[in-house]
């Protein structure tokens, strides 16, 4: 009784991996989603940080130039232009791009006592590098907007309101609180995207007296510093340098298209990282930052009070700590035609922030967009690549496991076939050896002394010896084919001699089986080039199988024909036939059909495998057509040699050597 089939370890491993692969695929899909989300956030954060730093550096570089070129109140009041020349020379020597400043102007302060129509513009002076001085000039058309804003309505530029500190009482001594309590800046700029306007103000604090109201400070507007920027230098030098610093890698490559356009006129392109970048980025940028806008830093841009967005007053006041009711508030003292500029406004050593009401938009917009179309598209493309890569790895793993399983099953099958081969060869060797031994023993012991019986014993020994030699030869041929020696000694082999010699070699088996061989072999068959003994062995195997499996019909037909390029040999029988399931495997080594095993037909399962390997080594093919119970036809096709047909007296044809 057979026990349950044994399951190999490789099969168990393959089954486990087949179960794990879907789980791995699901985990991979989930992990890729998480990785894609993290990658998206990282890319967006990196781009935002780089763009913000770029904007900060750009505004800082422009702001440093504007701040460095401000005219000091003492210089403006005394017209000490040599002092400004030294200041200008120092900036020009230390600035990264001195040509970013196109021109420097000084606007005289409006004179409230001067006659003239309202809105009349003050005098304008331009800095002359050659003469090292500000020279009076006419207002150019490019400063028309600045001129109209500085003139204002009714000649008023900005209002300034002061409230002086109050004494806190005798218990507080003479200490006074002069800290800035609140500063309000209106949002409207006096300049434009190419012009910075900063007032020059002299403020002398008033000396508070012992009685109210206190003395207001002496505030005097001396004029305005107007710095005109060069857009060409900013777009061709400053912006490219900062974009390369913040958005390019060390190899000089970037994943982003970058453009800088005007806020009011987006079609006005100041800078683009490559031709066409502005049009590609403008529709839906991944990141937008403002340039040339109000930004907290070491200075604040000048703003103009015109009654809009919270008014135009700067209030300085303090809270009074006193047990007594506070005195009436002092009457605000206002000064017309005053512009206030705060440079590095601080309270308790900290920068004073702008309260609400001011816009954070700048004059320019920096736009950045990923080359893939968007950050989402870039992340999706990376996710697709990662998914394809990981899926490919899983597919390779599955394929490798499949190959391992197939190889293991094939190795197991080959092992079984080799065991069967050993058993068959042992049987093939044992039977003739036993017969030879028994016959030789009888002859040696004198059991057989009649002449006819001695001849029969001798014939039996001869037959079994030939059978033993054939078995050994097939084993040697298999070893030679495995070593690549299927056609070791090529020569020209006449076609008709090849077939006739193979038929002669199986004559003993044919006669013993009582099989009739019908031959249709023309005399003028072409020669083939190859190993004569190997080819004869292949053909002999086919004829021997036809005789062995001829069944009750006891009939075999051999036919041959040539078409000029190939020699076609057919071996046909009307015997057992081969079923479809066995036909797929008959050329495999050690394979024996079920019919052969059930009828206990002797054989090792090597014959047809040797035939196929020998024929393929000679550039030919072998095929089979068979129906169970009706017989089989094996067709051998070999390429012919470029010689005259056999039988025509060709001198280069060689006879087939006899079997040793």
* CATH code: domain of residue 552: 3.30.565.10
**Which of 125-139, 260-274, 402-416, 531-545 shows the lowest mean pLDDT across its residues?**
402-416
Q: How far apart are alpha carbons 603 and 529 in whole angstroms?
A: 30
Cβ contact 495:619 at 8 Å? no
Confidence of residue 207 (pLDDT cuts 50, 70, 90): low
Please report whether residue 97 resides in a domain.
yes
**Which of 71-75, 394-398, 544-548 shows the lowest mean pLDDT across its residues?**
394-398
Reply yes or no on whether the pLDDT at 317 is more than 50: no
Higher pLDDT, 269 or 4: 269
Among all chains, which residue has been given the structure tokens 């900063």?
Answer: 198
Asked if 358 and 417 sit in the same domain, the reply is no
Please report whether residue 476 resides in a domain.
no
**Which of 50-54, 333-337, 402-406, 540-544 shows the lowest mean pLDDT across its residues?**
333-337
Q: What is the dihedral of CA 379, 382, 384, 386, to 10 degrees?
A: -130
Among all chains, which residue has been given the structure tokens 């168990």?
Answer: 12
Asked if 215 and 364 sit in the same domain, the reply is yes
Which residues are paired to 364 by β-bridges? 262, 291
Reply yes or no on whether the pLDDT at 197 is more than 90: no
Cβ contact 39:419 at 8 Å? no
Asked if 438 and 570 sit in the same domain, the reply is no
Q: How far apart are alpha carbons 589 and 417 in whole angstroms?
A: 8
Please report whether residue 657 resides in a domain.
no
Reply yes or no on whether the pLDDT at 367 is more than 90: yes
Among all chains, which residue has been given the structure tokens 């082999």?
Answer: 493
586 to 69, 579, 622, 635: CA distances (angstroms): 99, 10, 12, 14
Q: Quick one: angle between helices 607-617 and 532-548, nearest 10?
A: 150
Q: How far apart are alpha carbons 291 and 262 in whole angstroms?
A: 9
344 to 296, 347, 412: CA distances (angstroms): 9, 10, 88
Please report whether residue 37 resides in a domain.
no
Asked if 360 and 395 sit in the same domain, the reply is no
Higher pLDDT, 550 or 632: 632
Asked if 349 and 458 sit in the same domain, the reply is no
pLDDT value at position 455?
82
Among all chains, which residue has been given the structure tokens 């005798």?
Answer: 170
Asked if 86 and 127 sit in the same domain, the reply is yes
pLDDT value at position 120?
65
Under DSSP, the state recorded for 234 is I
Reply yes or no on whether the pLDDT at 213 is more than 90: no
pLDDT value at position 328?
45
Reply yes or no on whether the pLDDT at 491 is more than 70: yes
Our count of domains for the chain comes to 3
pLDDT value at position 560?
93
Higher pLDDT, 269 or 152: 269
3-state secondary structure of 271: strand
Among all chains, which residue has been given the structure tokens 């030679």?
Answer: 480
Q: Which helix (H) or strand (E) holds 566?
A: strand 566-573
Reply yes or no on whether the pLDDT at 643 is more than 60: no
Q: Which helix (H) or strand (E) holds 459?
A: helix 451-482
Reply yes or no on whether the pLDDT at 646 is more than 60: no
Reply yes or no on whether the pLDDT at 566 is more than 70: yes
User: What residues have CB less than 8 Å from 272, skipping those under 6 apart?
Assistant: 257, 258, 259, 260, 278
3-state secondary structure of 371: coil
For range 141-166, the mean pLDDT: 61
Closest CA relative to residue 362, chosen from 232, 197, 226, 193: 193
3-state secondary structure of 484: coil
Q: For residue range 217-227, list pLDDT tens digits in order.
A: 777 888 899 99
Asked if 490 and 405 sit in the same domain, the reply is no
Asked if 282 and 383 sit in the same domain, the reply is no
Reply yes or no on whether the pLDDT at 660 is more than 60: no
Q: For residue range 319-338, list pLDDT tens digits in order.
A: 333 333 444 444 444 333 33
Higher pLDDT, 103 or 483: 103
Taking 3-state DSSP, the helix, strand and coil percentages for the chain, each rounded to the nearest 5, stand at 45, 20, 40
Confidence of residue 259 (pLDDT cuts 50, 70, 90): very high
Asked if 355 and 425 sit in the same domain, the reply is no
User: What residues have CB less than 8 Å from 235, skipping those under 6 apart?
Assistant: 260, 270, 271
320 to 168, 209, 211, 329: CA distances (angstroms): 6, 17, 16, 11
Last residue of a domain, one of 444, 469, 494: 469
Question: Structure tokens of 178?
Answer: 């002069």
Closest CA relative to residue 367, chosen from 83, 106, 54, 71: 54
Reply yes or no on whether the pLDDT at 247 is more than 80: yes
Asked if 448 and 435 sit in the same domain, the reply is yes
Confidence of residue 651 (pLDDT cuts 50, 70, 90): very low
Reply yes or no on whether the pLDDT at 533 is more than 60: yes
pLDDT value at position 573?
92
For range 634-643, the mean pLDDT: 84
Domain that holds residue 563: 486-639
336 to 160, 340, 651: CA distances (angstroms): 8, 11, 131
Confidence of residue 596 (pLDDT cuts 50, 70, 90): confident
Confidence of residue 318 (pLDDT cuts 50, 70, 90): very low
Last residue of a domain, one of 371, 400, 432: 371
Please report whether residue 39 resides in a domain.
no
Q: How far apart are alpha carbons 458 and 434 in whole angstroms?
A: 14
Higher pLDDT, 272 or 445: 272
Last residue of a domain, one of 469, 501, 530: 469
Asked if 535 and 436 sit in the same domain, the reply is no
Please report whether residue 294 resides in a domain.
yes
Q: What's the distance, CA 457 to chain centroid?
A: 81
Cβ contact 190:305 at 8 Å? no
Does residue 567 have a cis peptide bond before it, meaning omega lies within 30 degrees of 0?
no
Reply yes or no on whether the pLDDT at 655 is more than 90: no
Cβ contact 170:342 at 8 Å? no
Confidence of residue 559 (pLDDT cuts 50, 70, 90): very high
Asked if 600 and 537 sit in the same domain, the reply is yes
Q: How far apart are alpha carbons 80 and 84 in whole angstroms?
A: 7
For range 583-610, the mean pLDDT: 76
For range 188-192, the mean pLDDT: 55
Question: Structure tokens of 441?
Answer: 């023993």
Question: How much of the chain exceeds pLDDT 70, in percent?
Answer: 72
For range 17-44, the mean pLDDT: 81
Q: How far apart are alpha carbons 502 and 397 in whole angstroms?
A: 51
**Which of 107-121, 355-369, 555-569, 611-625 shows the lowest mean pLDDT across its residues?**
107-121
Q: What is the dihedral of CA 305, 308, 309, 311, to 10 degrees?
A: 50
pLDDT value at position 307?
37
Single pTM value for the model? 0.53
Question: Structure tokens of 656?
Answer: 């087939």
Confidence of residue 175 (pLDDT cuts 50, 70, 90): very low
Confidence of residue 17 (pLDDT cuts 50, 70, 90): confident
Q: How far apart are alpha carbons 657 and 181 in whole angstroms?
A: 123
Reply yes or no on whether the pLDDT at 112 is more than 80: no
Please report whether residue 15 resides in a domain.
no
Higher pLDDT, 380 or 490: 380
Reply yes or no on whether the pLDDT at 156 is more than 60: no
Reply yes or no on whether the pLDDT at 355 is more than 70: no
3-state secondary structure 18-67: HHHHHHHHHHHHHHHHHHHHHHHHHHHHHHHHHHHHHHHHHHHHHHHHHH
Confidence of residue 301 (pLDDT cuts 50, 70, 90): very low
**Which of 8-12, 82-86, 269-273, 335-339 shows the lowest mean pLDDT across its residues?**
335-339
User: What residues have CB less than 8 Å from 40, skipping those under 6 apart?
Assistant: 375, 376, 379
Q: How many CB atoms lie within 10 A of CB 150?
A: 25
Q: How far apart are alpha carbons 573 and 518 in whole angstroms?
A: 10
Higher pLDDT, 208 or 204: 204
Please report whether residue 479 resides in a domain.
no
- The domain that contains 398 carries what CATH number? 1.10.287
Reply yes or no on whether the pLDDT at 647 is more than 70: no
Q: How far apart are alpha carbons 100 and 92 in whole angstroms?
A: 10
Half-sphere exposure (CA, 13 Å, Cβ side) for 452? 0
Closest CA relative to residue 182, chosen from 359, 347, 13: 347
Among all chains, which residue has been given the structure tokens 């039988």?
Answer: 647
Closest CA relative to residue 341, chosen from 73, 26, 638: 73
For range 26-37, the mean pLDDT: 79
Confidence of residue 181 (pLDDT cuts 50, 70, 90): very low
Confidence of residue 100 (pLDDT cuts 50, 70, 90): very high
Q: How far apart are alpha carbons 481 and 614 in whole angstroms?
A: 8
The average confidence (pLDDT) of the chain is 75
DSSP-assigned states of every residue in 388-447: HHHHHHHHHHHHHHHHHHHHHHHHHHHHHHHHHHHHHHHHHHHHHHHHHHHHHHHHHHTS
pLDDT value at position 230?
92
Confidence of residue 101 (pLDDT cuts 50, 70, 90): very high
Confidence of residue 6 (pLDDT cuts 50, 70, 90): low
**Which of 143-147, 392-396, 431-435, 599-603 shows the lowest mean pLDDT across its residues?**
599-603
Question: How much of the chain exceeds pLDDT 90, in percent?
Answer: 23
Higher pLDDT, 354 or 393: 393
Q: How far apart are alpha carbons 520 and 560 in whole angstroms?
A: 7
């Amino acid at each position: 009784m057979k026990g349950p089939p044994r399951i190999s370890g490789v099969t168990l491993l393959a089954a486990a991996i087949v179960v794990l692969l879907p789980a791995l695929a699901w985990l991979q899909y989930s992990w890729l989603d998480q990785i894609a989300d993290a990658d998206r956030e990282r890319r967006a954060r990196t781009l935002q940080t780089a763009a913000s730093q770029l904007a900060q550096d750009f505004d800082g570089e422009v702001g440093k130039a504007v701040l460095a070129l401000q005219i000091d109140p003492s210089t403006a009041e005394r017209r000490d232009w040599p002092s400004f020349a030294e200041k200008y020379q120092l900036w020009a020597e230390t600035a990264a791009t001195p040509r970013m400043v196109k021109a420097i102007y000084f606007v005289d302060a409006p004179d409230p006592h001067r006659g003239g129509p309202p809105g009349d513009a003050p005098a304008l002076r331009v800095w002359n590098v050659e003469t090292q001085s500000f020279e009076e000039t006419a207002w150019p058309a490019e400063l028309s907007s600045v001129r109209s804003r500085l003139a204002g309505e009714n000649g008023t530029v900005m209002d300034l309101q002061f409230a002086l500190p109050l004494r806190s009482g005798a218990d507080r001594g003479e200490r006074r609180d002069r800290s800035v309590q609140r500063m309000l800046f209106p949002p409207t700029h006096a300049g434009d995207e190419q012009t910075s306007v900063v007032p020059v103000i002299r403020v002398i604090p008033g000396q508070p007296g012992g009685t109210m109201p206190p003395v207001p400070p002496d505030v005097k507007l001396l004029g305005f510093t107007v710095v005109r920027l060069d857009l060409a230098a900013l777009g061709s030098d400053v912006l490219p340098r900062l974009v390369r610093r913040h958005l390019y890698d060390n190899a000089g490559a970037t994943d982003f298209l970058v453009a800088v356009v005007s806020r009011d006129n987006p079609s006005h392109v100041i800078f683009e990282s490559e031709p066409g970048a502005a049009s590609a980025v403008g529709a839906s940028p991944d990141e937008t930052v403002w340039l040339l806008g109000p930004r907290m830093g070491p200075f604040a841009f000048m703003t103009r009070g015109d009654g809009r967005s919270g008014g135009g007053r700067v209030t300085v006041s303090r809270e009074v700590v006193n047990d007594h009711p506070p005195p009436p508030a002092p009457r605000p003292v206002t000064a017309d035609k005053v512009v206030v500029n705060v440079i590095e406004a601080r309270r308790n050593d900290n920068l004073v922030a702008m309260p609400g009401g001011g816009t954070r938009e700048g004059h320019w917009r920096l736009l950045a967009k990923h080359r893939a179309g968007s950050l989402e598209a870039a992340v999706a493309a990376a996710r697709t690549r990662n998914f394809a890569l990981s899926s490919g790895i899983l597919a390779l793993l599955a394929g490798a496991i499949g190959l391992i399983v197939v190889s293991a099953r094939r190795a197991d099958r080959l092992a079984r076939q080799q065991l069967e081969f050993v058993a068959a060869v042992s049987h093939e060797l044992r039977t003739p050896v036993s017969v030879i031994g028994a016959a030789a023993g009888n002859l040696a012991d004198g059991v057989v002394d009649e002449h006819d019986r001695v001849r029969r014993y001798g014939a039996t020994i001869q037959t079994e010896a030939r059978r033993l030699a054939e078995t050994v030869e097939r084993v040697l041929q298999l070893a030679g084919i495995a070593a690549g020696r299927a056609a070791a000694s090529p020569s020209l082999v006449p076609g008709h001699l090849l077939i006739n010699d193979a038929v002669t070699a199986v004559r003993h088996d044919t006669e013993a089986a009582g099989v009739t061989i019908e031959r249709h072999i023309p005399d003028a068959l072409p020669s083939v080039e190859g190993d004569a003994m190997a080819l004869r062995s292949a053909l002999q195997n086919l004829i021997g199988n036809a005789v062995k499996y001829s069944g009750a019909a006891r009939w075999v037909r051999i036919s041959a024909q040539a078409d000029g390029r190939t020699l076609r040999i057919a071996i046909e029988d009307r015997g057992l036939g081969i079923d479809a399931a066995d036909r797929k495997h008959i050329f495999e080594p050690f394979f024996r059909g079920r019919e052969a095993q059930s009828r206990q037909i002797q054989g090792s399962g090597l014959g047809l495998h040797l035939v196929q390997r020998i024929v393929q080594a000679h550039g030919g093919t072998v095929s089979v057509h068979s129906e169970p119970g009706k017989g089989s036809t094996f067709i051998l096709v070999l390429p012919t040699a470029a010689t005259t047909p056999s039988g025509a007296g060709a001198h280069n044809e060689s006879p087939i050597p006899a079997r040793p």
